Amino acid sequence: MNLDFTLAKYEELCSAIVQSGYDAVSVKDYLSRSQVSGCRIQSERQRSLSLQPGEKVVILRHDVDRKPEKALKMAYMERQFDIQATYYFRTTGSLQSRNPAGNREDGA
């Protein structure tokens, strides 16, 4: 199996999401809409925000371990398609700024 994680392939995915009528939402929006759906008494505004039976929703979540600049390009692409997504950034010691001697610049 050939895995294609290029920006061109991601653009195809974004286009397919939009063309197929799915509502792309962030994790936060999905969870808040799900909670509203579970309420027995809803205002008109709550009904408009809640998940409806049969509604086509896709949740996009990106785990960014490396290459945050690529994640930024993906976010710009999502904006062009009016797609919402969630980004989780994992930071490690290797991402912290260091001077040539290997000491952290903040003195720690």
Per-residue model confidence as pLDDT tens for the chain (108 residues): 778 889 999 999 999 999 999 989 889 888 887 765 555 544 454 455 566 777 788 999 999 988 899 999 999 999 999 999 999 998 876 555 555 555 544 444
Q: What are phi and psi of 52, to 5 degrees?
A: -100, 150
For residues 16 and 13, give the distance between their C-alpha atoms in angstroms, rounded to a whole number: 5
For residues 15 and 74, give the distance between their C-alpha atoms in angstroms, rounded to a whole number: 13
